[in-house]
Every structure is written in structure tokens, then in C-alpha cells.
Amino acid sequence: MKTKNFYLSLLMIAFIGILSTSCSSKLTPLTPSHFNVTPTPLETVGNEVPVSINGMFPEKWFNSHATVVVTPVLKYAGKEAIGTSYTYQGDKVAGNGIVIHKNRGGNLAMNMKFEYEPEMRESELFLRFNAKIKNKTVELPEVKVADGVVATSALASAHNTEPSIAQDAFQRIIQQKQDANILFLIEQANLRSSELSKSELANWKKRVKEAYDDERQNVDIEISAYASPDGKLSLNERLAAEREKRTSAYLGDEMKKQEVNAQINARYTAEDWEGFRQLVEASNLQDKDLVLRVLSMYEDPETREREIKNISVVFEELAETILPQLRRSRLTANIEIIGKSDDEIMSFWKNNPDELNIEELMYAATLTENRTEQEKIYQYLTANYSQDYRAWNNIGTNFFRAGEFDKAMQAFNRALQVKSDAPEAYTNLALLALSNNETDKAEELLGRAAGAKDLEQTMGLLFLKNGEYSKAVEAFGDVKTNNAALAQILTNNYNRASEILNDIKNPDATTAYLLAVIAARTNNFNDVSAHLNTAIERDSAMRALAASDLEFAKYRSNAAFQSIIR
């Protein structure tokens, strides 16, 4: 009997041992305490949600024959975004997974990115397990490891970015110069009839008369008399002074005959070394580089002259071709042409647009903020100046601002058909690409946009979309826009962000919303309340945005905050 009981006891011990071994080989549910998520809560970087998950498989948990596939799943608005799966396996499994030893357990490390969707603001991150021991499936429940996404960077918007306008070349005052030369013989100052009867001088006097008689033009006159830089300095100074005196007297008489009472300013220069240098540089003179080197080496006029004369062959050619041109009085008419006033341009546009040239028409479009009127001007331009890319580009910017993106793209592409290297059109096509989060395409387009107006705004937006916030700050520079302020917020420079937002010329709902975000981050609920109310007044959609925004999570139980988002 004792023997029988002894064997029963042995059997019982063996059964318990087998049961114990069987239980320890199972995979038991894991808990959130086994995992750590960075950042918490999740946060967008550009238009992605990067996630790092670290965790551990406890000692004795992993079965040596088990394979466990862990998949992060972000659940939101009835949808699921599936992250990168990682495979872990026991030390007796033949495979390519990360090996976890049963006795000592092991670490779990996962990195991935989710493409951001607006509904992800209210979301939950789970770990999903697909486990097998040998060929037998093991059911393991999902584990929730994080709540929600802070999506402040996603407020970066192409739609409130200023598109690139092709500039007009209109000038209210156009500066013109007209020159004429009266030449003298060597060592002489008398005015020769052959010089005074030249067509060059006649045309000059005619242009001065026209400018003086035109109420839209102003004119003044300069006389600059010179001697050539050869001979004694004292002689050249007397010659230059006498040439200026006789030229001034002659011109004074001529202007009186034409009834031109323009101001005349006269001066003389004893030796015209600067004119000499310019003429030599523009000539085909043999050894001209040697002559120019002498000019650069010596400042003293007599030394210069001596060294140049030492180059005997060259000096003979200088005496024949260069020096005679320097024995002169130069007459310069400085003319200001005063263009149409803003009122005149708009009057012509409304009543007689054919009287405006293309630059005046392009300028007219900048004189009104009425986009319908602007579009009419650009339509007129594209009809009458179809080979000027600027009108096509600019009418595209109007379509862009109105949210008519298909029309905008057609206009920008037409601009490129007219001018294949139009930088503004490339900038604006990049802006359209960024509105669709096509950052690679935008970057390629911006590589061809150098010199475009407002390029810095689109470049800054590209950096925001790529999560390169410091580069965005640098690109925006002194620009005062919501996007520029957002770049400062994302680099934690709240004072600068507030300055930018307060300086925006036409603040909108996003402007006020960003100020509310700054107030929340700096623990100022009064300002949170004031700015959110302003944002909602400007755009009621901001109410739902604030309600789901984790930037304001700490205020959700606040009755005043609840009344704002209700």
C-alpha cells in the first residue's frame, strides 16, 4: 500500500511539473507598462508622425519556439494607419527575426512614420501581435501605448502663402542722358565750324529743346571740358579752362536762341586720364594691356606720361587714335521723363486702354486690390501681349488666391510655354505641389526658380513641410506671415513668433489661432481664451480644431474653455 501511494505521489509530481512547463511556455498578455513611446503625445513633423517605441519582453515570457510579429496601428475616425512591423523570435526558431532568449528576455525597439491625416488629432496608438508557437497561433490582445497627435506643424499652409508675381518695369521717372562732343585741335581752344555743324551736336540741341518744351520732362545741362594727358600739366590746365569758357559761352547763346532756360553746370579737367583708360580698354590697340598696367602702377601724371612715351610704337598709335578724342568739351543733357500718375493710368485703363503700354498695364494691375479688376487687366494683357509670360503668370496667381488651382496650374504652365525659364512660374508650380504635400516635386521646381519674387516664402514652406524648422526660420527672414510665425513656434521662439503675428497686415483666423497656441504653451489662459474667440469669430471651423487640439489638452476640464469650444 505504501508502495502504491509512493508511485501515486511521483505521478502527481510529474503531472504538476508537466503542467508547470506547459503554462510557462505560453505567451501571456503584455501591458502598457512594458512599453515607452516617444514623443508622448505623438507629434507631427512636417506632414508625418514619427514614432519611436521602446519596450521589453520580460524574463521567462518568450517561448524558445515562438515567433511574434509586432505591428503599430494608429486608430482614428474609424480608420487604421498601419506602421512598420517588426519580427521577434525565440532562440530555437530558424528565421531572420530579432532573437529573444527565454530566460533573460529582451528589448523591443521600433521606429516608424505615419502619413498625417487631420483626423489623427484624436487617435490611439496600439501594438498588434501576431504570434505563433511552432505552427500554433497564439491569441494576444492589442496593447494601447499612446493617445492623440499634436499637429501644430500641420498648420503650415500653401494657401496663405504669397504666390510669386512677375514684376512690371514701369518707372514713374525715367532718367535719360544724351551726350555730344566738341573736339579741339592739339594745344588749341577755338571752336571750329566743322565741329559746330556736326549732326551729333544738332541732334543734341534738338533733344534738349524737346525735353524743355515737354511738361512731362525736365532737363539740365553739364559741360565737361578736358585736355589730353600729354604735354605739360600747366599748359593742359590752361587749355581745359579756356575750352570750358568758350563752350559755355557758345552754348549759352544757343540756348537763348532756342528759348531754353535750362540750368547749365560747367567744369574742366586738366588731363583726362579716366577717359584715356576707358578708350584704351575699348580699343584694339597693340599692347594695350601694357599701357593699362602703367596706369595702374603710377599715380603721378608726369611719370605716367613718361612711361607711356617710352613704349614708342604704342605711343605713336595712341597719338593718332586715342589722344585726339580726349581734346574735347562733352555736353551732357540730363533728362527726366515723368510718367503718368496712378490716377491717369487707371483712367486710361477704364476709358482707353490702348493708350497704355505693356508696362503701364502691368503696373495698373498693382493699383487695385479688386481681384476681378486685376483679372480683367491680365485678360487684356494675355489677349494683346500673348508672348509676354508675366501676364499668364500673374493671372495664375489670382486663380491660386481664389482656390481655383486647376486654372492656376494651366496659367503657370502657359507662362512656361512662353518663357521656359520663368522663375515665378516655377515658384508657383512648386507652391501648388506643396499644397498637395508633394515635397520632392516642389524641391525640384524650386531648383529652377532663382530670382523669383517671394521665393523665400515658398522655400520656407518647403522646409516646414520637411520638418526642417531652423532652415524655415532662416528662409523666411523678415517675412511677416503665419507660416513664418509657425516656424518660430516650432523652434520654441515664442516672443519672435508673437511679434510676427502682431505685425501681419491682414490677420486671419490662423493668425489668432497661432497666438492662442503660444498662449497655451506659455500658460496664459486669458490670452488663450481671447485669441481662440477671435479665431472662431473669423472662421467657425476653428472651434472644432481647438476642441481636438492637444495644445489645449490641459484646459479641457476648464469651464471657460469648454464654453469656447461648445
> Phi and psi dihedrals of 398, rounded to 5?
-65, -45
Ramachandran region of residue 454, left (φ > 0), alpha (ψ -120 to 50) or beta?
A: left
Helix and strand numbers, DSSP H then E, in the chain? 24, 16
**Helix residue ranges per DSSP H, 215-351:** 233-257, 273-282, 288-297, 301-310, 312-321, 323-326, 342-351
**Residue 306 DSSP SS3:** helix
Q: Which residue ranges form the domains of the chain, and what is each CATH number?
A: 32-150 (2.60.40.10), 173-338 (3.30.1330.60), 353-565 (1.25.40.10)
Model pLDDT, residue 13: 40
Helix crossing, 494-503 with 482-490: angle to 10°? 170
Confidence (pLDDT) at 15: 40
Residues in the chain: 566
Q: Tell whether the torsion through CA atoms of 142, 148, 150 and 155 is positive or negative.
A: positive
Whether 44 contacts 154, CB under 8 Å: yes
- Cβ atoms of 336 and 173 closer than 8 Å: yes
- pTM of the predicted model as reported, rounded to 2 decimal places: 0.76
- Sign (positive or negative) of CA dihedral 438, 444, 445, 449: positive
Rounded to whole angstroms, the Cα distance separating 523 from 298 reads: 71
Q: Which of 124, 119, 123, 118 is nearest to 154 (CA)?
A: 118
Q: Give the pLDDT of residue 311.
A: 67
Instruction: Check whether the bond before 41 is cis (ω within 30° of 0).
Output: yes
The answer for 555, left when phi > 0, alpha when psi is -120 to 50, beta otherwise, is alpha
CB 292 within 8 A of CB 224: no
Q: What is the dihedral of CA 152, 158, 159, 162, to 10 degrees?
A: 120
If we measure between CA atoms, which residue out of 541, 546, 545, 540 comes closest to residue 560? 546
Residue 56 backbone dihedrals phi, psi, to 5 degrees: -145, 145
Q: Let me know the angle formed at the C-alpha of 505 by 423 and 412, rounded to the nearest 5 degrees.
A: 25
CA 83/CA 123 separation, integer angstroms:
14
Nine-digit cell string for 182: 566738341
* Identity of residue 532: L
Which parts of 168-225 fold into alpha helices (H)? 193-196, 199-213
pLDDT at 233: 85
CB 321 within 8 A of CB 306: no
48, 304, 316 from 309: Cα distances, Å:
76, 9, 8
Q: How do the pLDDT tens digits run along the chain, 566 residues long?
A: 444 444 444 444 444 443 333 334 589 999 999 999 999 999 999 889 999 999 999 999 999 999 999 999 999 999 999 999 999 999 999 999 999 999 999 999 999 999 999 999 999 999 999 999 999 999 999 999 999 999 999 999 998 899 999 999 999 999 999 999 999 999 899 999 999 999 999 999 999 999 999 999 999 999 999 998 887 888 989 999 999 999 999 999 999 999 999 999 999 998 888 888 888 888 887 777 777 787 778 777 778 777 777 765 667 778 788 888 889 999 999 999 999 999 999 999 999 999 999 999 999 999 999 999 999 999 999 999 999 999 999 999 999 999 999 999 999 999 999 999 999 999 999 999 999 999 999 999 999 999 999 999 999 999 999 999 999 999 999 999 999 999 999 999 999 999 999 999 999 999 999 999 999 999 999 999 999 999 999 999 999 999 999 999 999 999 999 999 98
Q: Give pLDDT, residue 184.
A: 95
pLDDT of residue 279: 86
Rounded Cα distance between 472 and 482, Å, is: 12
Report d(CA 16, CA 186) in Å as an integer. 129
Closest CA to 148 of 491, 556, 520: 556
Phi, psi of 115 (to 5 degrees): -70, 125
pLDDT for res 26: 81
pLDDT at 11: 41
Q: Closest Cα to residue 164, out of 390, 363, 414, 382?
A: 390
